[in-house]
Amino acid sequence: MTHTWNPTDPGVLRLPSGRLIRGRGLRHPLPPGAPTPSYGVYLLGRRPAEVPWEADWIRWPDFRLPADRATARAVLTEVWRRAAVERVEVACRGGRGRTGTALACVAVLDGVPAEEAVAYVRAHYDRHAVETPWQRRYVRRFGVSSGAAGTEA
């Protein structure tokens, strides 16, 4: 039995493989009774507050790109891998720019062509996701050096 998100929960993105990942803006607290992730990745300029589930932090200032791209690639690959069987959350302050960029990169890992990943995330997560030209370029370039993560879980 898997312990993933309900596909109709707010902020849940369904990847072509069927993996479900929740994107969220941290400025909005979780509603009472909302499911919690088993693993979260937080995209912030400074270390986030502790959470009661396993979490990683990618230093990623607002409207910018990750400070360490190799670490970002490794953590986003882990997001993709774990989303097959766990409730994985990706979040930044507002839940659109950095979160949308990270979700688009994970979509590339899932097999979405890099040139289409931003449009995919905007269509299936938030129409305002991925806010800056350099974030869009980062997603396109993420695909150049990644190749799809494959179908292993």
| pLDDT score, position 145 | 66
pLDDT, block means (10 residues), the chain with 153 residues: 81 97 93 90 96 96 94 98 97 97 98 98 97 96 65 38
- The CATH architecture assigned to 12-26+36-145 reads Alpha-Beta Complex (3.90)
* Tokens 């979509």, located at residue: 107
| pLDDT score, position 121 | 98
Share of the chain above pLDDT 90, in %: 84
* Tokens 């799809």, located at residue: 148
Q: Please state whether the predicted TM-score (pTM) of the whole model is above 0.95.
A: no
Position 130, amino acid: V
Helix (H, G, I), strand (E, B) or coil at 78: helix
CA atoms within 13 A on the CB side of 131: 11
What is the tens place of the pLDDT at every residue in 79-102? 999 999 999 999 999 999 999 999
Structure tokens at 17: 């493989």
